[in-house]
Chain A
Amino acid sequence: MYKFVLKRIVMLIPVIIGVTFVVFFILSVAPGDPVLTILGDGATDEAIEQMREELGLNDPLLIRYVNYIWDVLHGDFGLSYKTRLPVSDQLLARFPNTLLLASCGIVLAIAFGIPLGILSAKKQYTFLDNVATVGALVSVSMPKFWLGLLLVLIFSLNLGVFPSQGMGEGVVGTLHSLVLPAVTLSTGFMATIMRMTRSSMLETIRQDYISTARAKGIKESQVTIRHMLKNALIPVITLCGLQFGHMLGGSMITETVFSWPGVGRYVLDSIKTKDTPAILGCVILMSVSFSIINLLVDILYGYVDPRIKSQYKAGKL
């Protein structure tokens, strides 16, 4: 098991090198000169040349890349072109906010998605199942920016119960300001998780071991939870892991709508100003967190399904 985890961590290295190189390359060949962005249009040729030298932009691409990675390995993500502040400080300040929002989002999505999915599967083709199906379709098709604005309109402007913007102070304030963004973020995922749980449950309901369990005379609720759910969980876990990874890096729309001071908004702002060090920092953070989540999901498989665990042990995966 430890060997498996270690192997997976080592595999992170090529992933990160690949991702950063692609992003680095694309940003270098993309039109637009960062120096002009920093100095403004009225800068003299001399100042521009001096700045280029300072930023190392005159070196060949590969050398610049190697230098960058070397710095990153020493914990230095460079200075933002726009603010001239260290990117690492910005990321450190913003990542916890994104993590908080994403965690609340995924918890909400799981807390409602899985039970609704179970219910929907157990009552297949009934009124309840149909309502849940239509509801899921509606929530999946609703764009996040629209849902966010709608919630702001209802709960902030009309009812005035939740703040529409930013992040509150203190625990209560934070939680209070978290409600609308978290609901916006989780709705679509909740529906996907619900549908996945439903179809996975329906597959296990037909299995022979469910008959064996029923023949033991145990309660239907025990049959459902102990026998069906645990077997139906594998695809649902995969889905939740992927979605959590997406949320960690990609809740840009939600963060922008609610002015949430997180990584998603930061990366969006950086892309607008072609702030290469900031974009690269965000990309590295996202790919690392995505890979770690995936590793955690793989480890979790082992705990849910003993067949997978024994394969880990045998070193087959």
Chain B
Amino acid sequence: MSEFLSVKDLVVRYDTDDAVVRALNGVSLSLQEGETLGLVGETGAGKTTLARSIMGLIPSPPGVIESGEVLYGDEDLLKVPERRMREIRGKHISMVFQDPMTSLNPVMTVGEQIAEVLQNHENLHGKEAHCRACEMLEMVGINADRAGEYPHQFSGGMKQRVVIAIALACRPKVLIADEPTTALDVTIQAQVLEIIKRLRKELNMTMMLITHDLGVVAQNCDNVAIIYAGEIVEYGTVHEIFKERVHPYTIGLFDSIPKMNEDVTRLKPIVGLMPDPTDLPCGCKFHERCQYCTEECKERVPEMVQLSPTHQVRCIHWKEVAAK
């Protein structure tokens, strides 16, 4: 297995009129071919910014990519010309967006919207593209007869399946799914995830699954990266994160899920709020909410500690935490 897609020290900020939003502060991760990586974090942690950076879709202005690399094969996607980037988007790397209600163009039929990718990347013309679009619809479990209908004639779950069909139409090597199930209700979530899982196997895709649902991660991912305030705080295999987690934030995340085998009356949230990205604290970004916090944490930015070949954590006191 070779390193396939990797992000190195990515720093992204948004310049607004009255403040600088530090969205990503040196994120590194890598995906092997065929791997599924789960990216977990709170709202505003920088998950979507990371996904958009990989796709080259950071709105600019206000977005600025300060430094870092996004390597796909031996190309740095942050440096390739727009022309090449357009070839990569949709053909090599595809993205599924969060809200299916708004991510389809309301004035085009779903068939046209799927066919558009095919016409663009595979030089297919009218009829052929339409046939392939119908096949794609069948593949995500929608009757091909409905290709001529408009998004408003579909339910939320079906719209998300159409979005998936668009993303997968050219059989991309990498799929970035940005909270694909957040806007859907639970039964539909299961269906959509099932489809993604099935197609991922069929097409042998590498996938980055962005979510804040740890259950989804457990079922679908090989590796997990926990992201907090624009930094990865813990990174490891599903087993390592679920069974041997050592970062206080990761532990807090898991503790906030009510346990089935205990009688719980109150949820156990992590105290405090995520820091304001326009005004990040010095030192460890989590120190204000951390029960292990010491003076050192307030001053020194912790570096990534390698615990095993696959397990990394960004905490000064990880040994102490692990001992508990």
Residues of A within 8 A of B (CB): 207-209, 211-219, 226-227, 230-231, 304-307, 310
Instruction: Judge whether B120 and A209 touch: CB under 8 Å.
Output: no
Instruction: Tell me if A209 and B89 are in contact (CB < 8 A).
Output: no
Check A310–B152 contact: CB distance below 8 A. Answer: yes
Q: A218-B116, A310-B153 are in contact. Are A212 and B166 (CB under 8 A)?
A: yes
Tell me, rounded to whole Å, the shortest Cβ–Cβ distance linking A52 to chain B.
61
Flag if B89 contacts A215 (CB, 8 Å).
Answer: yes
Which stretch from B66-74, B102-110, B226-234 is at the chain A interface?
B102-110
Write out the residue numbers on chain B whose beta carbons fall within 8 Å of the beta carbon of A208: 97-99, 102-103
Q: Give Cα A282 to B214, complex, Å.
A: 72
- 1/0 per residue B86-104: CB within 8 Å of A? 1111110011011100111
Q: How far apart sit A208 and B104, CA to CA, in the bound complex (Å)? A: 8
Q: Which of B97, B102, B103, B104 has the most CB of A within 10 A?
A: B103
Q: Output the least CB separation between A119 and chain B (Å).
A: 18
Instruction: Give, as a whole number of angstroms, the nearest-CB distance from B198 to chain A.
Output: 22
> When chains A and B are docked, how far (Å) is the Cα of A272 from the Cα of B29?
81
> In the complex, what's the smallest C-beta–C-beta distance from B97 to chain A, in angstroms?
6
User: When the two chains form the complex, which single residue of B95, B121, B153 contacts A215, counting CB atoms closer than 8 Å?
Assistant: B95
**Assembly CA distance A216 to B170 (angstroms):** 10
Within 101-131 of B, Cβ neighbours of A (below 8 Å) are at: 102-109, 116-117, 120-121
Q: Are B57 and A230 in contact (CB under 8 A)?
A: no
B219 to chain A, nearest CB (A): 25
Residue from A207, A208, A217, A305 whose CB has the most chain B CB atoms within 10 Å: A217
- Given A212-B97, A212-B166, A310-B153 in contact, is the A217-B88 Cβ separation under 8 Å? yes
A293–B55 CA distance with the chains assembled, in angstroms: 45
Known interface pairs A215-B57, A215-B94, A218-B116; A307-B106 also in contact (CB < 8 Å): yes
Select one of A209, A214, A215 contacting B106, CB under 8 A. Answer: A209
Minimum distance in angstroms from A208 CB to a CB of chain B: 4
A212 to B94, CA, bound (A): 10
**Contact with B107, one of A218, A304, A310 (Cβ below 8 angstroms):** A304
Q: Contact between B106 and A231 (Cβ–Cβ < 8 Å)?
A: yes
Smallest CB separation, B166 vs chain A (Å): 7
Q: Are B150 and A209 in contact (CB under 8 A)?
A: no
Min CB distance B29 to A, Å, is 20
From known contacts A230-B107, A231-B107, infer whether A217 and B120 are also in contact, taking CB-CB under 8 Å.
yes
Contact A215 B55 (CB under 8 A): yes
Taking CB atoms, residues of chain A closer than 8 Å to B97 are 208, 211-212, 215
- 11 A-B pairs besides A226-B116, A231-B107 with CB distance below 8 A are A211-B103, A215-B97, A217-B88, A217-B90, A217-B117, A218-B90, A218-B120, A305-B107, A306-B150, A307-B106, A310-B153
Q: Are A209 and B104 in contact (CB under 8 A)?
A: yes
Q: Which residues of chain B are near A231, meaning CB under 8 Å?
A: 105-107
When the two chains form their complex, are residues B86 and A217 in contact, meaning their CB atoms are under 8 A apart?
Answer: yes
Residue of A nearest to B121 (CB): A217
Residues from chain B with a CB closer than 8 A to the CB of A310 are 150, 152-153
Q: For residue B108, which residues in chain A have a CB less than 8 angstroms away from its CB? A: 226-227, 230
**Which one of A217, A306, A307 contacts B87 once the chains associate, using CB atoms below 8 Å?**
A217
Q: Answer yes or no: B316 CB below 8 A from chain A CBs.
A: no
The distance in angstroms between the C-alpha atoms of A210 and B57, with both chains bound, is 11
Q: Please tell me if B217 contacts chain A, counting CB pairs below 8 Å.
A: no
| In the complex, residue of chain A having the shortest beta-carbon distance to the beta carbon of B150 | A306
B136 interface hit (Cβ, 8 Å): no
User: How many angstroms between the C-alpha atoms of A165 and B166 in the bound complex?
Assistant: 59
Q: In whole angstroms, what is the CA distance A230 to B52 when docked?
A: 25
**Can you list 18 A-B pairs with a CB-CB distance of less than 8 A?**
A208-B97, A209-B106, A211-B57, A211-B97, A212-B104, A213-B116, A214-B57, A215-B55, A215-B90, A215-B95, A216-B90, A216-B166, A217-B88, A218-B116, A226-B116, A227-B105, A231-B105, A306-B109
> A307 to B86, Cβ gap below 8 A?
no
Q: In the assembly, what is the distance between CA of A192 and CA of B254, in Å?
A: 56
A226: B residues at CB distance < 8 A: 108, 116
* Contact bitstring B148-159, A, C-beta under 8 A = 1, else 0: 001011000000
Query: B140 on the interface (CB 8 Å rule)?
Result: no
Instruction: Tell me which residues across on chain B come within 8 A of A215, comparing CB atoms.
Output: 55, 57, 89-90, 94-95, 97, 167
List residues of chain B with CB within 8 A of the CB of A305.
Answer: 106-107
A44 to chain B, nearest CB (A): 71
CB pair A207 B102 closer than 8 Å:
yes
Among A214, A227, A306, the residue within 8 A (CB) of B89 is: A214
Enumerate chain A residues within 8 angstroms of B167, measured Cβ to Cβ.
Answer: 215
Of A211, A218, A306, which contacts B86 at CB under 8 A? Answer: A218
Residues on B with C-beta less than 8 A from A304 are 107
Closest partner residue, chain B, to A206 (CB atom):
B59
3 smallest beta-carbon distances between A and B, as pairs: A217-B89, A217-B90, A208-B102
How many angstroms from the CA of A33 to the CA of B95 in the assembled complex? Answer: 77
Chain A residues, Cβ within 8 Å of B152: 306-307, 310
Among A207, A212, A226, A227: residue with most chain B CB under 10 A:
A212
A219 to B105, CA, bound (A): 16
Q: Which residues of A contact B85 (CB under 8 A)?
A: 217
Asked if B163 is an interface residue, CB under 8 A from chain A, the answer is yes
Chain B neighbourhood of A230, CB < 8 A: 107-108
Q: A231 to B97, alpha carbons, bound, how many Å?
A: 20
Write out the residue numbers on chain B whose beta carbons fall within 8 Å of the beta carbon of A218.
Answer: 86, 90, 116-117, 120
Q: Give Cα distance in the complex from A244 to B28, angstroms.
A: 58
Check B117 against A216 for contact (C-beta < 8 Å).
yes
Q: Which residues of A contact B117 (CB under 8 A)?
A: 216-218
Q: What's the Cα separation between A213 and B103 when bound, in Å?
A: 9
Report B66 CB to chain A, min CB distance, Å. Answer: 22
Report whether A306 and B90 are in contact in the complex, using a CB–CB cutoff of 8 Å: no
In the bound complex, CA of A211 to CA of B57 (Å)? 8
Known A217-B88, A219-B86; judge A212-B103 contact (CB<8 A): yes
